[in-house]
Structure 1
């Protein structure tokens, strides 16, 4: 090959190397850009994870919404109930003894429900009072043990009615709205234990009692926290029907009126009182047969309360208009539910390779969960089975109004005597003394149990549309019932 030919052959080779170098250089630049971008993304992700960890640390033990500490408390309550009640329910039934009414079983748990040894770091301590007695009461009220435990899961329903009232108590509902979990004062807890034997005997002799149905008495204690006593009881109101009007009747008149602005503000769940009932010209429409059943049972229940020195109770009346039905979806606008997704939290912690115990994951999931609006379609669409066994809950879960020919009308009543744990003690006697100095001593709420019972029954008799056949021998003290 000639020199000229060699020179002519070199440029293409040179050009070829130049192209390769250019491509290599371009690839190198692209790679560096990609590497730089990934490093920046990684740093951003690292910063985000650190910020998330910081946020998580802040959230632990801190309320993320008003009342969130109560949600944490409630989660612990349900965990304790499921384990404590599950143990006694699994044992063979036996006759009750005197000791059963005084028994108290103490357990120590972490948030996952694992029982701990004494002295270990715990999330809460749980005490189950008279477990065998309440097991027997649930049996008498026809509550299936498995259904009871399934209902009381980590999901529960909140209501706008669940905000603390004058007593400072909180109300929660089980996931199917059939059970109420209510915090009570220590004095109420002591009094329920004191009267438990008489209450149990009364329920045994009166299966159709209108008194609130107690299914359990428990206590929860958080680390460095106070002891919270609470009861589980039956919900008077139904899960499957909207309540269009609600009244809480004590038979007294002082302070027993809910102003119109409060009714408008709480349109779907306003609980009206005695003077509202009278102002609205309300009457219980009960024909002769149901009228007799209602008054007869109510007087037996009130006689027990008088004998136990109890006052300040009331008759809760929920009214469902069958013509209106559930068209207004009232429950959709008043109910929420709280359900920490602990399974999802466990999966997330596993994917992120975080070294956390199961209890730590659960605590974080609870702390980060807020209530959601409840769709009424998630509630049962028919009366619960145990309601069919009580005459006052046997008409679509309630007590259907009837005319004077005992023919049914289009109104359903949901009835129950509530707040039966207030004795006429020194505190109530003092309240009576001071209020009677400025008010009619017979109109105030705090009066002697016998007078309270007479007044209560007199008001209930007047609350019935046709009361001319109510006998006058339904008397609790020397004064007669006013049935006119």
Structure 2
């Protein structure tokens, strides 16, 4: 049986693609070239993720309530993209319900570069309860670590130039205020870390332009140079009655401030 997908807001999503310079022909190739690579989903949502053949886009299955939330927040979300071009929010290029199957696919940008191999990946929520990578995940070729793993691997943190830090903080603040206004929770900061070789020309010039698009240059306390790739993911979950109950139950087991489910 062939699956037929139609955009829920064709004109609006086309505006987003135009905003970020996505050419119609390139976008069509992203969607239609096969095979798509199935990605491991480190989250608990149960969604299926696909990486397009050209590796420029991520396709992800979304639930009915997530599709409804995307529609609800779209105008404010779009305004944020226009006013805050350095936004870390996912860039949704379209959302396609399937006519003859109970499935909806969202299409968004791939945060990570395709021309270099990242050395570390982290899914960070700012919490510590059960935020350690599983043995199963560590056995993978490219595992996605969590908050406690980040604290272990980077105990002194990661350092940014003052101007870079201020810009990044301002961007995150705007993004999070938008999510808070819609009572959205349980999102993560997806962080990719690339350790710059000591013989790299970018090391001397401190130039992010020498790396694939989207790099933020940083360093460790030991002076190791880093190129960071980051974005906020999983933004389609509201703080509803189910999440309130989850927070209450987890707060009985551990400190309520340590769990990821929080009232926005």
Q: TM-score, normalised by structure 2?
A: 0.88
Aligned residues of 2:189 and 2:232 also touching (Cα < 8 A): yes
Corresponding residue to 1:238 among 98, 108, 113: 113
* Structure 2 match to 1:131: 10
Structure 2, unpaired ranges of 5+: 200-207
In 2, Cα distance between equivalents of 1:193 and 1:289: 35
Q: Secondary structure at the match of 2:235?
A: coil
Corresponding residue to 2:150 among 277, 291, 315: 277
Alignment of 1:346-357 (within 5 A): none
C-alpha distance after superposition, 1:107-136 (max 9, x if no partner): xxxxxxxxxxxxxxx633323101000000
Structure 1, unpaired ranges of 5+: 1-121, 326-391, 450-484
Aligned residues of 1:217 and 1:230 also touching (Cα < 8 A): yes
Q: Secondary structure at the match of 1:124?
A: coil
* Structure 2 match to 1:199: 77
Corresponding residue to 1:176 among 54, 57, 82: 54
* Structure 1 position 262, deviation (Å): 3.4
Q: Secondary structure at the match of 2:217?
A: strand
Asked if 1:153 is matched to 2:32, the reply is: yes
C-alpha distance after superposition, 1:316-352 (max 9, x if no partner): 0011123299xxxxxxxxxxxxxxxxxxxxxxxxxxx
The verdict on how the C-alpha distance between 1:256 and 1:192 changes in structure 2, with shifts beyond 3 A counting, is: same
In 1, Cα distance between equivalents of 2:106 and 2:185: 19
* Structure 1 match to 2:226: 411
The structure with the larger Rg is 1
Query: Would you say how many aligned residue pairs link Structure 1 and Structure 2?
Result: 253
Aligned residues of 1:126 and 1:218 also touching (Cα < 8 A): yes
C-alpha distance after superposition, 1:278-302 (max 9, x if no partner): 1222522211121111111111111
* Structure 1 position 306, deviation (Å): 0.8
* Larger helix fraction of residues: 1
Q: Secondary structure at the match of 1:123?
A: coil
* Structure 1 position 165, deviation (Å): 5.3
Aligned residues of 1:256 and 1:273 also touching (Cα < 8 A): yes
Aligned residues of 1:140 and 1:207 also touching (Cα < 8 A): no
C-alpha distance after superposition, 1:40-67 (max 9, x if no partner): xxxxxxxxxxxxxxxxxxxxxxxxxxxx
Q: Secondary structure at the match of 1:431?
A: helix
Asked if 1:293 is matched to 2:171, the reply is: no
Asked if 1:322 is matched to 2:137, the reply is: no
Where relative contact order (Cα < 8 A, 6+ residues apart) is larger, the structure is 2
The verdict on how the C-alpha distance between 1:131 and 1:208 changes in structure 2, with shifts beyond 3 A counting, is: same
C-alpha distance after superposition, 1:237-276 (max 9, x if no partner): 11111011000110011110114x335411x221100111
